[in-house]
Amino acid sequence: MKNIATLLCIAFLSFTSCKKESQPNKELTDKKEVETAIKTDLKIIPIEHATMVLEYENNVIYVDPVGGADAFKDQKKPTLVLITDIHRDHLNTETLQALDLSHATLVMPKAVAEKLPELKTLKNIILENGKTTTVATILIEAVPMYNLREEALKFHAKGRGNGYVLTLGKERIYISGDTEDIPEMRALQNIDKAFVCMNLPYTMPVESAASAVLEFKPKQVYPYHFRGTEGFSDVALFKNIVNKQNKDIEVIQLQWY
């Protein structure tokens, strides 16, 4: 009787152990910081909507900082600030004035520079579409961002704003800014991480964003800037469209809102 009880106990422990090991790992999509299956030295911290902090080695990059100083109270001081366009969800002068930018280089298109107040910064660089610059060890390429649909042309004119491609070590990072699935996006090559907008009426629907991503094939894509006038875009649909046709593209959803 004792032997039977022992065997039953061993069988039960084996079953529960196997069951525990077979449970899938919980995805980290609800965290402010994420580590993915692809090895990277880049730390990505979403702040809100189009605003993020990227940390790489000794570089702290603020992208379109908005939300006031409180939004960055837990962040390191910036060494580089990228601004894509003139709208308040990208260019917020009150936030810029509230931040310590004394050790930061600001990179922006001309239209932003014309609206920017005098700030105490290390350096300001005006970068037009198609131009490049290097800050510290970071190669920065300014790429176009604009609308294609007739009803949306009033929002983002070609040549006014910048998307950016950053080279951080061996990785190329694409930040779309406010754009549709323009030819310049579709022609991108060797992109490791892509931050792609998708909100109506200002940028593009998820179907267009997915179509562009499937063409330029980044290793990873992060939907961002997906709040429009009618609420949030369906980023789950975006992921489904992309992975139905290409399972090798990793779609990562961070907590932007």
Rounded Cα gap, residues 174 and 191, in angstroms: 7
* The CATH number of domain 27-251, selected from 3.50.50.60, 3.40.50.150, 3.40.250.10, 3.60.15.10: 3.60.15.10
Q: What is the dihedral of CA 242, 231, 54, 72, to 10 degrees?
A: -170
Q: What is the pLDDT of residue 161?
A: 98
Rounded Cα gap, residues 116 and 162, in angstroms: 15
Closest CA to 151 of 111, 89, 203, 229: 203
User: Domain residue spans in the chain?
Assistant: 27-251
Closest CA to 92 of 112, 72, 120, 70: 112
The H or E element spanning position 232 is strand 231-232
Q: What is the pLDDT of residue 28?
A: 38
- pTM of the entire structure? 0.85
pLDDT (tens, 9 = 90+) of the chain, 257 residues, equals 444 444 444 443 343 333 333 333 333 344 444 545 556 789 999 999 999 999 999 999 999 999 999 999 999 999 999 999 999 999 999 999 999 999 999 999 999 999 998 899 999 999 999 999 999 999 999 999 999 999 998 999 999 999 999 999 999 999 999 999 999 999 999 999 999 999 999 999 999 999 999 999 999 999 999 999 989 999 999 999 999 999 999 999 999 99
Q: What is the pLDDT of residue 56?
A: 97
Q: What is the pLDDT of residue 39?
A: 62
Q: What is the pLDDT of residue 40?
A: 73
